[in-house]
Amino acid sequence: MRLRPVAPALGVLCFLLALALAGPAAPLSVSARPHATPTPVPTPVPPEDPAVTAIAHREFVAWQIGVVNKARYTPDLAAAITDDKVKQSSTALAALGTFERSEYMGPASIADAEPGEDVHGYFYRMICSEGAVYMKLALSGPQNKVAFIGFNDKLHDDAEATPVPTPH
């Protein structure tokens, strides 16, 4: 009588029995990283341009007193400025009191700018003796013609010329 080798079959049987007794395999756990992920550094706001700030001050005061020089504006915007709009804006801005100073908030996006068009937007907080308002200003071309100007009591990208006095 000849003996058959049992050891390999017995080994496979024991392995399968061990798997069955162990139950379903536990999912692999991912260990935590040994160090925290670094927080990205925010992009710094470009520095304020004194020439642009001077234009912002000049135009704010012009709208506040109701004397807007349309020659300083792009043709499209100059055509859209009506006496009624100037009067309405002037009344609201005058309620803020005497202009004292501005705070440069940073660049503003210009949604209507064509690709390659030389238009740059800026946000300011205009602070007056009786309140403050945010101003969005867009300047076009090398002559810095005003392509957009708007005022709002909240800082967001769709400022309109309807300020609401806010305490500062």
Q: How far apart are CA 167 and CA 31, in angstroms?
A: 52
Its domain, for residue 97, covers 50-152
Three-state SS for 102? strand
Q: Is the pTM of this model over 0.75?
A: no
pLDDT tens digits for range 97-148:
999 999 999 999 887 777 778 999 999 999 999 999 999 999 999 999 999 9
Three-state SS for 22? helix
Q: In CATH, what number is assigned to the domain containing residue 67? A: 3.10.450.590
* Cα dihedral 85, 86, 87, 93 sign: positive
Note whether residue 30 is domain-resident.
no
Note whether residue 57 is domain-resident.
yes
Domain count, the chain: 1
* Strand 119-128 to 131-140 pairing: antiparallel
pLDDT tens digits for range 14-55:
333 333 334 455 454 555 566 777 788 888 888 999 999 999
Q: Which of 5-14, 20-29, 88-97 has the lowest mean pLDDT?
A: 5-14
